Chains A and B, each alone.
Chain A
Amino acid sequence: MSIVWSNFFVQLVSFAILFWLLSRFAFKPLFSVMEKRRQLVQEQMESAQNNRTDAERLIEEQKQALQQARKEAYDIIEQAKTTGSKQADEIVLAARNESNRIKEDAIRDIETEKNKAVAALKAQVSGLSVLIASKIIEKQVDEQSQKQLVDQYLQDVGNKS
């Protein structure tokens, strides 16, 4: 095994040429593509992270909105319940008042009608009694004085009864 020294320089030069060729025509584009992919992956990861935070924020907002809506619905129901019972009370009160008023009116009407009927009865009774008396006594009495007499009498009866 003898060493050929020219091989040393042949290898030196050829390796330098190979290194330059590879760097220029193979590694340069390859590294740039790998760098691009790295950036792409990083961008996608960042956007995924952003999307996730956005989604979480939206969910939180939705939760709050839901909570708000629930609370409002509860309030509305509560309000409706109180107004409802209040209105019911009012209606009942109004009805009671109305009924009382109607009752009182009725009593008053009854009273007036009774008085009217009593007055009419009195008038008729006096007429009839005059007729009866005149028939019985068969004595011509002045109708005017007769009437006064009967009235006097009825008054007395009324006072006694």
Chain B
Amino acid sequence: MTKGVKNDNMEHLAPLIEIGGIEFDLAAIMMVVISSLVVFIIARLAVRNLSVENPGKLQNFIEWVVEFVQGIIGQTMDYKKGRPYLALGLTLILYIFVSNMLGLPFSIITEAHGSHIPTVFGQELIVKGEHEHLAWAWWKSPTADAAMTMALALIVIVLSHIQGLRHNTKHYLKHYTHNPNLVFLPIHLIEIVSKPLTLGLRLFGNIFAGEVMIGVILGMGWVGIPAMLVWQGFSIFVGAIQSFVFTMLTMVYISQSIVHEEDH
């Protein structure tokens, strides 16, 4: 691996295969499944022995998370209105936090022997362009992939628009043209596009940059050990903050479209 990093032409490829004309990123799919499994197992362990009067450690932890998300919802809107989004907020914060953390501790790299291209499920991994040395990165945060974070962001934004239309129809539609007047319609339209973009790319950028930085520090050899310690700590911090920010913004966007304020 050190050898590979020292090679300037070295780039870790995503292990892609093509099925039915569609490219699939095997590493990303694997990491999504692993992240989801970790979240689900933690949640199941936490609710294994539920007790009203004598909760266990894990139950206390998960209840702390629930109360944390309840706090986020309570800050952005009337909690009674935001109650249905509690499960969504919890899933988001747990999934994004676990995803952000997963890419940090290690990575799994496979290298090609010579010019032989390995196959997975009978399909050759796709190699685009020229590479002196072929290596595939299998272990990375799902949230270090722009398409993945955009999917999460779109889920949230589309949901907020749907809920706005369903529960706040009149004022939701009115706010495009009457807030404060028709001249601002283009700004509202830009906002529709910019909200998911900023939401998704903020998460992607932070986590991707963190993993790139880890790669750079690895290239420094043993000199980089202190820097690595610092950066790993900072990445944990960033990962936690980003999962919080994502959940917070989700609730803010939902509240913006479902809550009708009189001065609109």
Q: Please determine whether A12 and B62 come into contact, CB atoms closer than 8 angstroms.
A: no
Q: Please determine whether A4 and B14 come into contact, CB atoms closer than 8 angstroms.
A: yes
Q: Given A26-B43, A34-B63, verify A4-B52 contact (CB < 8 Å).
A: no
Q: Please determine whether B87 and A23 come into contact, CB atoms closer than 8 angstroms.
A: yes
Q: Please determine whether B25 and A30 come into contact, CB atoms closer than 8 angstroms.
A: no
In Å, the complex CA distance between A27 and B95 comes to 14
The residues in A between 23 and 58 inclusive whose CB is less than 8 angstroms from any CB of B are 23, 25-27, 29-31, 33-34, 36-37, 40
Which of A14-22, A74-82, A114-122 is near enough to bind chain B? A14-22
Q: Does A6 contact B (CB under 8 A)?
A: yes
Q: Given A3-B146, A8-B147, verify A19-B88 contact (CB < 8 Å).
A: yes
Chain A residues, CB < 8 A from B36: 14-15, 17-18
Q: Given A3-B147, A30-B66, A36-B52, verify A22-B29 contact (CB < 8 Å).
A: no
21 contacts between A and B (CB under 8 A): A4-B14, A7-B147, A8-B151, A10-B29, A10-B32, A11-B148, A11-B151, A14-B36, A15-B95, A15-B155, A17-B36, A22-B87, A22-B91, A25-B44, A25-B47, A27-B43, A30-B46, A30-B50, A30-B62, A31-B66, A31-B86
A-B contact count (CB 8 A): 114
Chain B residues engaging chain A, CB cutoff 8 angstroms: 14, 16, 22-25, 28-29, 32-33, 36, 39-40, 43-44, 46-47, 50-53, 59, 62-63, 66, 86-88, 90-91, 94-95, 128, 142, 145-148, 150-152, 154-155, 208
Which residue from A4, A14, A34 sits with its C-beta under 8 Å from B147?
Answer: A4
Besides the known contacts A4-B28, A11-B152, A23-B87, 15 further A-B residue pairs in the complex with CB atoms under 8 A apart: A1-B146, A4-B16, A4-B25, A5-B23, A5-B147, A7-B28, A7-B29, A7-B148, A9-B151, A10-B32, A10-B148, A15-B95, A15-B155, A22-B91, A29-B50
Q: How far is the CB of A4 from chain B (nearest CB, A)?
A: 4
Number of residues on chain A facing chain B (CB within 8 A): 32
In Å, the complex CA distance between A12 and B157 comes to 13
In Å, the complex CA distance between A121 and B72 comes to 136
Q: Please determine whether A7 and B145 come into contact, CB atoms closer than 8 angstroms.
A: yes
